């Protein structure tokens, strides 16, 4: 039996509204709400793993498309759902102890679950207007969470994030309006059908441009990246993990890939634009990251560079598909991009969680003021090193495999300069994470940190959980059965391109 | 914050109940006449805002305390989602209007008709009314006697 798809959105939504009521009942209520939030995230994780390998179209309220709202579960959606659930599970477990330093914990949990509901909605939505609505739900919850500390710097970052995020949302809304005006549809499958029948017109081309700018802003690709290095470090550590780990990917990369590949259809200029944006993000993000002194800021810039990798894989696949008509190579490149997406969501959230552990132990984020912490925080150091090795791409950690696939795809398609760029940016990544290891964990321990203690318990458990994933995620491409369940369906969705609309319309029985 | 003159206070004490009743009317007849949960909720909140303008914020907070408003806010959203879930349980699909289809068809243009739509309107009315009230009160707190130490999510030192 298929799982009713709205559950992915409704479970976190309902619990999110219950939590402030339970949380206001005093001390017991606070711990009960924490427990409830954790159970919710665990249930979502179980549901998303159960729906691996399935595909489904759900018509809300039994209204048939294109009139009603539909939710679509396919390979790509499941991949994103699993990523969101894994990271939100780890981040929620981490917040149990970490968020004790703030007073309004039930509100935090409530906003956290609202954000999860929004992201699940974006991933599942089958029509572009609902995609916009869920995008707003997730974004508005994240604006509040970035400014959750209510201190000067956090509020400033939150405001900047809000202004740029709303500009992105306006772009997306204008794009939706133009598409509706030109095709008369909001359902993705039917828009795609209409575009295939009537061809593009200037209005639709402009809408595509607006979508690229809007979702590019959400994904923090380089010309649009200004908000990310402020917003991600200012948030509490589990929220930074969520933002860098999954939010920029669901709202940015996923939506971009879905709209371009499945709705509008690829064309050569669009593939080149995406490739250019991706390469710019990779290099600029890496260069900016090397100079940082603040741990979380360094990680935030490195996120920009890593999102570049993901978009590079997807765009390279698209380019190969349009230019050389080589499906095998194109699927290899897209596989690299999507696998890197999954990997990055795991190790970047792990890195942000370790930064939270370091910050709550030492009270500072400035690398130059730390040193020798490996004596006091041995397990944090171990997990941080695993994550760093993974992001740099040292075998056998997960990041190695995705970068290897990207390089192999680029070389086989005779884009040697792209392969060289991937290796070069990997080298820059190595420099920044060696710097992090050197300044934070090695060297002399300052006098004032002689007494600090590592947080054990749930904070550690969530970090170890992600670290274990980092080590074993390589199996997803090495083992053919796992690859056939998790990654191949997602690649097929993007390679399938415009067949998406026909599939949806046949499945829903029209 | 002592409020406005006697004239305003007297008029307010007569008018507030009319506004409140009008809000309830708009919510309850949302499926028959123009309006609905959102518009009615805004009118409900506006009656409280009128009291706040006339009598001052303290008076209104005695009447409807901020935690209570916050609970109503959450309850409205929660019951809206529950109505949708009930559609899944009784009607087989999320958001199905199960009352209309199976249990309570009702006559068109009667008050009791349209199944779950009036229930959803009531839930939205509660949600919008309470949250709009909270927004205005929060804005007035920030503008008048805001002390830096009183913010809600302060970090424990």
> Among B70, B94, B156, whose Cβ lies nearest the Cβ of A60?
B94
Residue B135 in any domain: the answer is yes
pLDDT of residue A429: 93
- Tens of pLDDT along A116-165? 999 999 999 988 999 999 999 999 999 999 988 888 888 899 999 999 99
Cβ contact, residue pair B74, A149, below 8 Å: no
Cα gap A304→A238, rounded to integer Å: 18
- For the cut 50, the answer to whether the pLDDT of residue B156 exceeds it is no
What ranges do the domains of chain A cover? 269-478
Cβ contact, residue pair B153, A18, below 8 Å: no
Per-residue pLDDT band at B17 (split at 50, 70, 90): very high
Residue B157 in any domain: the answer is no
- Choice between B112 and A282, residue whose per-residue pLDDT is larger: A282
For residue A56, the cross-strand partners are A73
Residue B82 in any domain: the answer is yes
> Among B75, B81, B153, whose Cβ lies nearest the Cβ of A10?
B81
Residue range(s) defining the domain that contains residue B116:
6-146
Q: Which of B103, B69, B99 is nearest to B84 (CA)?
A: B99
Q: Which of A4, A11, A17 to mutate to probe the B interface, most B CBs <10 Å?
A: A17
Cα gap A398→A470, rounded to integer Å: 6
B97 has a chain A CB within 8 A of its CB = yes
Cα gap A369→A375, rounded to integer Å: 16
Residue indicated by tokens 């809408």: A207
Per-residue pLDDT band at A305 (split at 50, 70, 90): very high
Per-residue pLDDT band at A1 (split at 50, 70, 90): low
Residues 29-88, chain B, touching A (beta carbon < 8 A) = 67, 70-71, 74-75, 77-78, 81-82, 84-85, 87-88
pLDDT of residue B104: 75
Cα gap A170→A178, rounded to integer Å: 12
User: What angle, rounded to 10 degrees, do the helices at A295-323 and A327-362 form?
Assistant: 170
**CA angle, A166 as apex, A161 and A167 as ends, to 5°?**
105
Cα gap A452→A430, rounded to integer Å: 29
Q: Out of A21-25, A142-146, A160-164, A397-401, which region has the weakest mean confidence (pLDDT)?
A: A21-25
Residue B57 in any domain: the answer is yes
pLDDT of residue B151: 47
Cβ contact, residue pair A17, B93, below 8 Å: no
- For the cut 60, the answer to whether the pLDDT of residue B148 exceeds it is no
Q: Which of A62, A100, A143, A509 to mutate to probe the B interface, most B CBs <10 Å?
A: A62
Quote the minimal CA–CA distance from A69 to chain B in Å.
Answer: 11
**CB-based contacts of A263: which residues, under 8 Å, 6+ apart?**
A128, A188, A191, A192, A195, A500, A501
Give the three-state DSSP class for A214: helix
Q: What is the mean pLDDT of chain A?
A: 90
pLDDT of residue B53: 87
- For the cut 60, the answer to whether the pLDDT of residue B157 exceeds it is no
Instruction: Tally the domains of chain B.
Output: 1
Residue B151 in any domain: the answer is no
pLDDT of residue B143: 58
Contacts of A58 in chain B (CB under 8 A): 93-94
**CA angle, B18 as apex, B14 and B22 as ends, to 5°?**
170
How many C-alpha atoms does A40 have within 13 Å on its Cβ side?
Answer: 29
pLDDT of residue A423: 93
Cα gap A472→A433, rounded to integer Å: 21
- For the cut 70, the answer to whether the pLDDT of residue B150 exceeds it is no
Cα gap A253→A259, rounded to integer Å: 10
Cα distances from B145 to residues A187, A251, B131, B139, B141, in angstroms, run: 49, 39, 21, 11, 6
> Among B70, B93, B155, whose Cβ lies nearest the Cβ of A61?
B93
Q: What average pLDDT does the segment A12-30 reach?
A: 85
Q: What is the mean pLDDT of chain B?
A: 83
- Tens of pLDDT along A349-381? 999 999 999 988 888 888 888 888 888 888 999
Quote the minimal CA–CA distance from A328 to chain B in Å.
Answer: 40
pLDDT of residue B2: 66
- For the cut 80, the answer to whether the pLDDT of residue A299 exceeds it is yes
**CB-based contacts of A45: which residues, under 8 Å, 6+ apart?**
A85, A86, A88, A89
Quote the minimal CA–CA distance from A58 to chain B in Å.
Answer: 9
Cα gap B114→A190, rounded to integer Å: 30
- For the cut 80, the answer to whether the pLDDT of residue B146 exceeds it is no
Quote the minimal CA–CA distance from B90 to chain A in Å.
Answer: 12
Contacts of A102 in chain B (CB under 8 A): 153-156
> Among A10, A17, A103, whose Cβ lies nearest the Cβ of B84?
A10
């Amino acid at each position: 039996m298929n799982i009713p798809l709205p559950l992915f959105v409704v479970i976190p939504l309902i619990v999110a509204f219950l939590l402030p009521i339970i949380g206001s009942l005093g001390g017991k209520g606070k711990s009960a709400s924490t427990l409830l939030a954790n159970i919710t995230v665990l249930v979502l994780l179980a549901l998303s793993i159960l729906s691996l390998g399935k595909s489904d179209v759900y018509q809300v309220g039994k209204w048939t498309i294109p009139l009603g709202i539909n939710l679509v579960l396919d390979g790509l959606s499941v991949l994103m759902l699993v990523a969101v659930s894994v990271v939100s599970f780890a981040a929620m477990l981490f917040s149990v102890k970490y968020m004790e330093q703030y007073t309004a914990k039930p509100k935090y949990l409530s906003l956290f679950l609202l954000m999860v509901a929004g992201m699940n909605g974006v991933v599942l939505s089958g029509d572009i207007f609902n995609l916009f609505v869920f995008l707003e739900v997730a974004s508005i919850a994240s604006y509040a969470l970035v400014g959750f500390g209510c201190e000067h710097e956090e509020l400033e970052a939150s405001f900047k994030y809000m202004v740029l995020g709303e500009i992105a949302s306006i772009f997306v809304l204008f794009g939706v309006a133009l598409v509706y005006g030109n095709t008369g549809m909001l359902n993705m499958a039917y828009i795609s059908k209409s575009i295939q029948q009537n061809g593009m017109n200037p209005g639709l081309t402009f809408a595509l441009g607006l979508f690229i700018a809007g979702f590019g802003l959400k994904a923090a690709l380089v010309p649009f990246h200004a908000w990310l290095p402020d917003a991600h470090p200012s948030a509490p550590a589990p929220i930074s993990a969520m933002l860098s780990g999954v939010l920029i990917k669901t709202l940015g990369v996923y939506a971009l890939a879905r709209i371009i590949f499945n709705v509008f259809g690829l064309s050569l200029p669009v593939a080149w634009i995406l490739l250019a944006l991706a390469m710019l993000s990779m290099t600029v993000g890496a260069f900016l990251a090397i100079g940082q002194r603040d741990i979380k800021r360094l990680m935030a810039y490195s996120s920009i560079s890593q999102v570049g990798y993901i978009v590079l894989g997807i765009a390279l696949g698209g380019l190969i598909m349009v230019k050389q008509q080589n499906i095998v190579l194109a699927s290899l490149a897209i596989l690299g991009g999507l696998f890197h997406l999954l990997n990055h969501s795991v190790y970047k959230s792990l890195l942000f969680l370790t930064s939270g552990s370091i910050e709550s132990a030492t009270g500072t984020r400035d690398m130059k003021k730390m040193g020798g912490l490996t004596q006091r925080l041995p397990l944090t150091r171990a997990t941080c090193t695993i994550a760093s090795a993974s992001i740099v791409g040292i075998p056998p950690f997960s990041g190695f495999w995705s970068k290897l696939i990207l390089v192999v795809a680029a070389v086989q398609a005779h884009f040697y300069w792209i392969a060289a760029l991937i290796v070069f940016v990997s080298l820059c990544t190595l420099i920044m994470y060696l710097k992090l290891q050197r300044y934070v964990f090695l060297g002399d321990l300052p006098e004032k940190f002689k007494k600090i203690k590592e947080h054990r318990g749930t904070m550690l458990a969530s970090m170890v959980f992600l670290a274990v994933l980092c080590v074993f995620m390589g199996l997803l491409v090495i083992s053919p059965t796992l690859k056939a369940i998790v990654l191949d369906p997602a690649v097929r969705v993007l390679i399938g391109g415009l067949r998406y609309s026909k599939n949806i319309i046949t499945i829903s029985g029209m | 914050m002592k409020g406005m003159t006697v004239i305003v206070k007297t008029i307010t004490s007569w008018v507030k109940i009319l506004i409140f009743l009008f809000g309830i009317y708009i919510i309850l007849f949302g499926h028959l006449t123009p309006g609905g949960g959102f518009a009615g909720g805004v009118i409900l909140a506006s009656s409280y805002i009128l009291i706040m303008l006339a009598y001052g914020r303290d008076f209104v907070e005695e009447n409807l305390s901020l935690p209570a408003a916050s609970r109503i806010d959450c309850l409205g959203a929660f019951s809206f989602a529950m109505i949708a879930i009930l559609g899944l349980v009784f009607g087989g699909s999320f958001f199905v209007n199960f009352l209309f289809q199976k249990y309570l068809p009702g006559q068109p243009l009667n008050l009791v008709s349209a199944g779950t739509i009036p229930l959803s309107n009531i839930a939205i009315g509660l949600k919008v009314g309470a949250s709009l009230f909270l927004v205005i009160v929060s804005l007035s707190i920030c503008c008048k006697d805001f002390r830096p130490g009183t913010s809600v999510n302060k970090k424990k030192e």
